[in-house]
Amino acid sequence: MTHTPPRIALAAALLALSGAATADSLSTVSLNKAASDAASIDVQHLPGKGAEISRMQTQRFADGDQLTTWADGGVMMLCRKVGYIKVPADKPEVATLPLEQRQMLVYAAMMGSVGGVVQVMQWTGENVQVADDGSETTRSAESKWAYGVERAEVTTQRMPDGALRVRARKTATEESTPRSGPDASFSTDADRDARMAELPAVGSWMEVLIGTQPKAARIDPAFSLTGWVSSGDGHAATVGEARSAAGCKD
């Protein structure tokens, strides 16, 4: 009969209890539902080593208003009726774009933050596991490509204010099929290289911070639209004037 020293037995029991507690303290969260209900979505992206981190922030309001900003640009949609574009200082031509192009720009920018969530979901799937105590939870993920597998590290965290943070960082690109030999009558190497060039770089990451706080009622009516251009035919000096002209209900 094997004798287990009391201290080792106690340590094993504590580890077992710790593991059980950890398993019980994880919650499953639907990223799709969280993004749909969110009051705000903050997306940050590092495309590769040495590159600059880009950031896009979206705030949604109870009356349907939406404000999305990035660097020195931005768009807003007022009561789902009229859009405005913030004209970047280095791109004054935005103010003179045809009506249809301005409308397309507003729509594309409004979907930008959701697009960030969709890209993260390519690694996480619909649901993520989040620690209830606010600690980080990290796991490995993989995604197939034409000639192998991409690998990533997924980190989730529930922030003190209730926001959901999810980051996917690519860790490897692997090739599972051999390359063509020098005597091969048919080679797929050119296609392989072209497809590999389209993949995200190793070390790149995408992070989304999904805000769960109550939505503010609307964008401040006194918000100045100086430096903004309408996606429609008219123009207003303030958000309040733009809402009135569009027939938005208070």
pLDDT for 185 equals: 65
**Helix segments in the chain, DSSP class H:** 6-24, 31-37, 99-110, 112-124, 189-198, 239-246
User: 69, exposed or middle or buried, with CB in 10 Å at 0-12, 13-18, 19+?
Assistant: middle
pLDDT for 246 equals: 87
Residues with Cβ < 8 Å from 210, sequence gap 6 or more? 31, 34, 35, 38, 40, 41, 117, 163, 164, 165, 166
Residues with Cβ < 8 Å from 15, sequence gap 6 or more? none
Residue 116 near residue 136, CB atoms below 8 Å: no
Length of the chain: 250
CA nearest neighbour of 88 among 63, 115, 69, 103: 69
Q: Is 92 helix (H, G, I), strand (E, B) or coil?
A: helix
Instruction: Tell me the pLDDT of the chain (250 aa) as tens digits.
Output: 444 454 444 444 444 444 444 445 999 999 999 999 999 999 999 999 889 999 999 999 998 899 999 998 999 999 888 899 999 888 889 888 998 999 999 999 888 899 999 999 999 999 999 999 999 999 999 999 999 999 999 999 999 999 999 999 999 999 998 887 776 666 788 899 999 999 999 999 999 999 999 999 999 999 999 999 999 888 899 999 999 998 888 6
Residue 230 to residue 211: CA distance in whole angstroms? 28
pLDDT for 130 equals: 97
pLDDT for 10 equals: 47
What's the number of CA atoms in the CB half-sphere (13 Å) around residue 13?
7
DSSP letter assigned to residue 25 = T
Largest CA distance in the chain: 89
pLDDT for 179 equals: 83
Q: What is the DSSP string of 138-204?
A: EEEEEEEETTEEEEEEEEEEE-TTS-EEEEEEEEEEEE-SPPPPTT-SS--HHHHHHHHHHSPPTT-
pTM, whole model, 2 decimals?
A: 0.83
Residue 149 to residue 141: CA distance in whole angstroms? 10
